[in-house]
């Protein structure tokens, strides 16, 4: 170890390194709780880089999460953050957005939280085109509570509540988001860090309900129970099996234990947001007597 390195040792005796993600994290909360090989940290790295490229004022960004391993992301981000109750991240975020329309509001949570107990909120927020960016880290399991069957668990996979293999058909999250009316839908894996960062940056600059699914390994529960190796092994699978198909029909992007993993930007369409629709409607009803909420007029 060089003298220069010794001069920059941190409080734990480890070399200090300038990391571009550090300004976006709450340093006092580190080290994090995620297991070795978990992909959530990689998604956070991509998100911080997207923030650095797309947002000039972090005071105008809020992050909301629910319960679960991914739900801990909000607590680590150096943003206005809300760690909400199980399955309720989206309604909390919708209320925040309507109260403070000038804010960029990001929901960051897992597949179990967003699509099991929180599934109805997801569907109706997409239908209404609430102006939210929803990031779902999909590891196919309930990672924090013991590895139970999740809405996304592939057929044939073993879980603690399906020890002899899952026989239920899983949800296809991009298809659900598209069918419900989301204005932007994409999927990447933690192998695709450049594409993921670019997509997160693009979504931060858009309006409407934006949904990004990120496939990430859970080595402690899902991979171990299904004898799929460790986190590195799964990232290798993402590399080998992924096919980039921008604009793919979301009916054709189901996931299984085998076969292609279709990734890319699937949906990018213009729709008025819920707030724009509300203001346009009441302007038509009440005319000049109506004052638009948040200063948002039709298709501003």
What ranges in the chain are assigned the alpha helix state H? 3-6, 40-54, 73-76, 89-99, 111-112, 119-128, 173-180, 193-204, 224-225, 231-241, 274-286
Q: pLDDT tens digits for 232-278? A: 999 999 999 999 999 999 999 999 999 999 999 999 999 999 999 99
pLDDT of residue 6: 36
CB 84 within 8 A of CB 112: no
pTM of the prediction? 0.90
pLDDT of residue 21: 85
Q: Which residue has the tokens 């319960």?
A: 67
Q: Is 12 exposed, middle or buried (0-12, 13-18, 19+ CB in 10 A)?
A: exposed
Radius of gyration of the chain (CA): 20
Q: Which residue has the tokens 């607590």?
A: 75
What percentage of the chain reaches a pLDDT higher than 90?
83
CB-side exposure of 215: number of CA atoms within 13 Å? 30
Write down the CATH number for the domain with range 38-269. Answer: 3.40.50.970
Instruction: Please state the rounded mean pLDDT for residues 75-92.
Output: 94
Tokens standing for residue 30: 């580190």
pLDDT of residue 57: 92
Cα–Cα distance, 182 to 177 (Å, whole number): 5
Q: pLDDT tens digits for 146-196? A: 889 999 999 999 999 999 999 999 999 999 999 999 999 999 999 999 999
pLDDT of residue 16: 54
Provide the b/e sequence for 145-169 (b: ≥16 CB within 10 Å): eebbbbbbbbeebbbeebeeebeee
Q: In what order do the strands lie in the sheet with 210-215?
A: 80-83, 61-65, 104-110, 133-138, 210-215, 184-189, 261-268, 242-244
In the three-class reduction of DSSP (H, G, I as helix; E, B as strand; rest coil), residue 127 is classed as helix
Q: pLDDT tens digits for 118-128? A: 999 999 999 99
DSSP 275: H
CA-based end-to-end distance of the chain: 57
Task: For 188, list phi and psi in degrees, rounded to 5.
Answer: -140, 175
Domain ranges for the chain: 38-269, 273-300
């Amino acid at each position: 170890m060089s003298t220069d390195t010794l001069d920059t040792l941190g409080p734990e005796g480890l070399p200090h390194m300038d990391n571009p993600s550090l300004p976006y994290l709450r340093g006092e909360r580190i080290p994090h709780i995620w297991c070795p090989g978990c992909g959530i940290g990689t998604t956070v790295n991509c998100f911080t880089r997207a923030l650095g490229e797309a947002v000039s004022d972090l005071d105008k960004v809020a992050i909301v999460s629910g319960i679960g391993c991914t739900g801990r992301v909000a607590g680590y981000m150096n943003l206005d953050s809300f760690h909400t109750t199980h399955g309720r991240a989206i309604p909390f975020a919708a209320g925040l957005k309507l109260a403070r329309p000038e804010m960029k509001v990001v929901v960051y949570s897992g597949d179990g939280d967003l699509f099991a107990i929180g599934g109805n909120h997801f569907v109706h927020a997409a239908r209404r085109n609430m102006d939210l960016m929803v990031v779902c880290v999909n590891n196919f399991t309930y990672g924090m509570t013991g590895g139970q069957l999740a809405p996304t668990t592939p057929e044939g996979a073993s879980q603690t509540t399906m020890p002899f293999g899952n026989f239920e058909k899983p949800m296809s999250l991009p298809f659900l988001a598209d069918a419900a009316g989301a204005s932007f839908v994409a999927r990447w894996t933690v192998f695709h860090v450049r594409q993921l960062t670019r997509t997160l940056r693009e979504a931060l600059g858009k309006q409407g309900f934006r949904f990004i699914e990120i496939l990430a390994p859970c080595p402690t529960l899902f991979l171990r129970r299904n004898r799929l190796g460790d986190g590195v092994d799964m990232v290798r699978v993402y590399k080998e099996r992924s096919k980039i198909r921008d604009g793919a029909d979301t009916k054709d992007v189901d996931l299984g234990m085998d076969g292609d993993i279709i990734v890319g930007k699937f949906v990018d369409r213009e729709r008025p947001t819920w707030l724009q629709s509300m203001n346009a409607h009441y302007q038509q009803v009440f005319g000049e007597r109506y004052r638009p909420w948040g200063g948002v007029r039709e298709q501003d």
